């Protein structure tokens, strides 16, 4: 389930979700500051959190396999992203215009498929699993980060 809650007009503080965050579910809801997703969530839909300028960090559980097109686009308050080990695909422009991101933590040993979904890389530290640096450096969407840190 889900809906489109334009420009912060949605008044509830919690929303129960099953396994999918629907397309446009929290789009432009700028009062959203924190998201805590249950381990049941496997997919984040297109533009689900687009324009949520109040978000400062995101932690996605290991269950999430797909981040949709423009899912977090223009979340200008974001400084930190943590993506679980189950991620397989990050949609195009997923983090476009998220210009304040300082670090991304990805728990997946195999670099997820992407189509230009990651933000400008020259100042971002990318934290990846030990032993996966070479794999990340060889994949177009993951090459060229400011710093790779294996953890």
* Residue pLDDT tens, the chain, 151 long: 344 334 334 444 455 567 889 999 999 998 888 888 889 999 999 999 999 999 999 999 999 999 999 999 999 999 999 999 999 999 999 999 999 999 999 999 999 998 777 776 778 899 999 999 999 988 888 887 878 999 9
Which pLDDT does position 6 carry in this prediction?
40
User: Which is nearest to 5 in space by CA: 54, 94, 22?
Assistant: 22
Which pLDDT does position 150 carry in this prediction?
96
What is the pTM assigned to this prediction? 0.86
Which pLDDT does position 37 carry in this prediction?
87
Reading the block at residue 143, the tokens are 């090459």
Which pLDDT does position 77 carry in this prediction?
96
Give the Cβ contact number of residue 25 at 10 Å. 23
In this structure, the strands spanning 43-44 and 66-67 are parallel
**Phi, psi torsion values for 49, nearest 5 degrees:** -125, 15
Domains and CATH numbers, the chain: 1-7+18-151 (3.80.10.10)
Give the Cβ contact number of residue 13 at 10 Å. 7
Which pLDDT does position 7 carry in this prediction?
38
Which pLDDT does position 3 carry in this prediction?
40
């Amino acid at each position: 389930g889900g809906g489109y809650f334009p420009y912060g007009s949605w008044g509830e503080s919690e929303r129960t979700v099953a396994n999918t965050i629907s397309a446009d579910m929290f789009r432009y809801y700028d009062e959203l500051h924190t998201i805590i997703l249950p381990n049941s969530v496997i997919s984040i839909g297109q533009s689900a959190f687009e324009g949520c300028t109040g978000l400062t960090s995101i932690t996605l559980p290991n269950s999430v396999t797909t981040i949709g097109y423009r899912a977090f686009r223009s979340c200008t308050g974001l400084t930190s992203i943590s993506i679980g080990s189950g991620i397989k695909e990050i949609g195009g422009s997923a983090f476009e215009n998220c210009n304040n991101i300082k670090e991304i933590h990805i728990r997946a040993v195999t670099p997820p498929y992407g189509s230009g979904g990651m933000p400008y890389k020259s100042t971002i530290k990318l934290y990846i699993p030990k032993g996966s640096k070479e794999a990340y450096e060889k994949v177009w969407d993951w090459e060229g980060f400011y710093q790779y840190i294996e953890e």
